[in-house]
Chain A
């Protein structure tokens, strides 16, 4: 499990670094332009990177089995170890993003304060706010990762039409996390419909159930041939 997680981390390290650098550059460029033309009143970092990271995890999840499962099994790794290793790697990546988001928020506010003052309505950063943001972003990132992985697993295991049908249940962890924990439209994210504890519990239950279904789907799956 550790071997697989380490190996995936080695593979993804340059991809993640380039991705985060690209997001940071885009946020910086948009912030500079926006600050010159209007008083935005919201944090570009949280909006941009909050969306970018969760969608990135969704896509990583979708590609995980189609791209990597055969490589690991071909080198003597069991499906079970691959599933555990990729879960560990994915969980740590989601956790890393959930940590980076509030840190980036803090840096963004610092930059605003260096160049002037943050716009009115800008979400103020503090240690308590950072913890709160982390507590919202982590389940959202995990939900998107697991949704992507389930959709990828469904297309890998079943016929294309079954994969299409399974997108609907597969997207539930992402939808639940986004809707209940305020991943959509909120800056910073805030629980909606339920108190935070309830929203977190529902989101995590849906995510864990879907993760268990991924395990059931992939535990004895046939390793597909590479095309060509």
Chain B
């Protein structure tokens, strides 16, 4: 269990994380969501012992991870800026990680390097933005660290590479269960991976919930435009999409049995809501 209590991170007069309380059971994939400047990277930096919190505590299984050799060795934090030597070749970067991390799987790293079509002889400085992100993914997944923190590691990656990343993340997580915290803005694309979702805004916790429960916080109503309009009247509508005479409205809040029956009677189809729609609603409502 990762326990965060009253955590505050300040940069001079700016408060990045504001008295955050959070309990994260281990062995799950978390989606850490928040708008720009919401404090996601600061939270991950403290979890990875990259910085001391300004106030509050973090405990991993009851132990403060800061400068704890065992816990730091069991944590991998991949930042979007990538902590590698620019003039090193990819092969050297992987060798370096393998030499320092007992859990690093060099064979798997080579396999991923091939999958992402990275030339091991190429220098980091010669990589494109997307290739650098792919190298971050290789380092993050091959580290097989019990606590893996991936901070917007997809930046610049094309759709095919992102798809490879998501598939490999899931496959390797199933084969080697661990705690993965994935910070991302591409919520729609990656939401299906999340087992739990943490949403923060302006450094404060907005929501921490099981992904399926979160999806149940809303409903999508699809059907003839007039029938949909009539049904959603007076409710919180997160988004509306129309195509011809068909309309799909995303509502915040669940429906009780009577409302479900009324929707059926009106010829409307009910479906789950996207986490992205809920995220926009929840973080928008905070501002």
Contact = CB atoms under 8 A, between A and B. Distances in A.
Interface of A: 3, 7, 10, 67, 70-81, 219-220, 222-223, 225-228
Interface stretch (B68-76, B202-210, B232-240, B247-255): B68-76
The 6 closest A-B CB pairs, nearest first, are A74-B83, A76-B73, A75-B100, A222-B51, A223-B50, A226-B81
6 contacts: A74-B83, A75-B101, A78-B67, A78-B68, A223-B45, A223-B50
A106 B36 CA distance: 64
Q: Number of contact residues on B: which range applies? A: 20 to 34
Given A76-B75, A81-B69, 5 more contacts: A3-B100, A74-B84, A75-B96, A219-B67, A226-B81
Contacts of A80: 67, 69
Contacts of A72: 100
Contact of A7 (B79, B82, B96): B96
Nearest to A68: B85
Nearest to A67: B85
A75 B97 CA distance: 6
Given A225-B79, A227-B81, A76 B100 contact: yes
Given A3-B100, A77-B100, A71 B52 contact: no
A223 B51 contact: yes
Contacts of A220: 52, 66-67
A75 B85 CA distance: 13
A7 B99 contact: yes
B17 interface: no
B42 to A, nearest CB: 10
Contact of A76 (B79, B81, B82, B101): B101
Contacts of A10: 99
Nearest to A6: B99
B165 interface: no
B145 A225 contact: no
Nearest to B99: A7
A76 B76 contact: yes
Contacts of B52: 220, 222
Contacts of A70: 83
B77 interface: yes
B83 A226 contact: yes
B100 A78 contact: no
